[in-house]
Structure 1
Amino acid sequence: MDTAITASLWIGAIGCGLLGGVFFAFSSFIMRALAAIAPAAGIAAMNAINRVILRSWFMPLFWITTLAGLILAGIAMARWDAPGAAAMLLGGAVHFVGMFVCTVALNVPLNNALAAVDSAGDAALPVWQRYRRDWTRWNHVRTLACAVASASFVLALLQRA
């Protein structure tokens, strides 16, 4: 069981770090670059990114890391006295709520609304402006959640060593 926990912690630490890096890139420069081009081009680029990401290595990483975090949180609750349990629970909970729930409940619906807009129509500009503001706000949350989760899983690894 200890080997499985350690493997899950490594998956969580590395996976959250990778996911957080992707989210950080969007928060720090990709969304600003898309805002600097014509709205129709920005909408088209973001819609293309949203389609491609679903068929990329990002998705298995997204699901595996979420599963590892949930498993680690469950193990932490069952073995609360074990070294690293609090860090495992924190990492799993922060990752699940701050990354997974935020993505599913907030970012994905915004992506779907953007995909439905006619990028050449009069309604495109206000939709694009709202999308960029709201999507980026929630993406900041995902970035922070992944960083906290990754650090928590590393801390748990250190506490278990």
Structure 2
Amino acid sequence: MLGTVILVLAVLAAGLSAGVFFLYSNAIMPGLRRVDDRTFVAAFQALDRAIVNPLFIGGGFLGTLVLAVASALLHLGDAAVLAWAIAAAALQAVVIVITGAVNVPRNDALKAAGDAGAIDATAVRAAFGERRWARWNHVRAVLSAAVVVCLAIALAVG
């Protein structure tokens, strides 16, 4: 019973996290692409400050990995569930590594640049590497969707 509850929570956390990356890929970044440099910097800074919160970081982003690992540990005797839970955990770990290696450093540099009205927003936006950030976010969105699929299969076969 506990194993099933943890799997359900893992699917929920993974779905919420995947939804965030999907939203960035399909609405936020395309929308920001259309605005001037000062608006881009100010809006992205505000978005990044808002998303760094315990609910997203703990509940979805890192929580998915914790719940997938917990699911694997709770299903050590069930090879099918175990395999899918391990696959989900591995994929989520890759998402976390990409985020830490590519996206977060850019986010932090953009926030550290200062108030969008008091800096050279064009230079800051160019240094941010918007296309690279968006490309790697697409990868995170696809991998996160795969995490949801793996966990849903684990739930279905369990």
What range is the shorter-chain TM-score in?
0.7 to 0.9
Taking the TM superposition and a 5 Å limit, the aligned residue runs for 1:1-161 are: 3-55=1-53, 57-61=55-59, 62-73=61-72, 79=76, 82-97=79-94, 99-117=95-113, 119=116, 120-121=119-120, 123-128=123-128, 130=129, 132-160=130-158
Query: Residue 69 of structure 2 contacts residue 85 of structure 2 at CA under 8 Å; is this kept in 1?
Result: no
State the 1:113 CA deviation. Answer: 1.4
8 Å CA contact 2:41–2:125 kept in 1: the answer is: no
Identity percentage over the alignment?
A: 31
- 1:135 counterpart SS class: helix
Distance, in Å, in 2 between the alignment partners of 1:69 and 1:56 is: 18
Q: CA RMSD in A?
A: 2.0
For 2:107 and 2:14, locate their aligned partners in 1 and report how far apart those are by CA, in whole Å: 22
**Structure 2 length-normalised TM:** 0.85
Deviation sequence 1:47-73 (CA, Å, 0-9, x none): 001111123632231232221123334
In structure 1, the gaps of 5 or more residues are: none
Give CA deviations for 1:62-117 in whole Å, capped at 9, x if unaligned: 232221123334556xx3753322111111111121x2121122211110111123
**Which ranges of structure 2 fall in alignment gaps of 5 or more residues?**
none
Instruction: Report runs of 4+ in structure 1 exceeding 4 Å deviation.
Output: 73-76
8 Å CA contact 1:70, 1:93 repeated in 2: no
What is the number of residues matched between the two proteins? 153
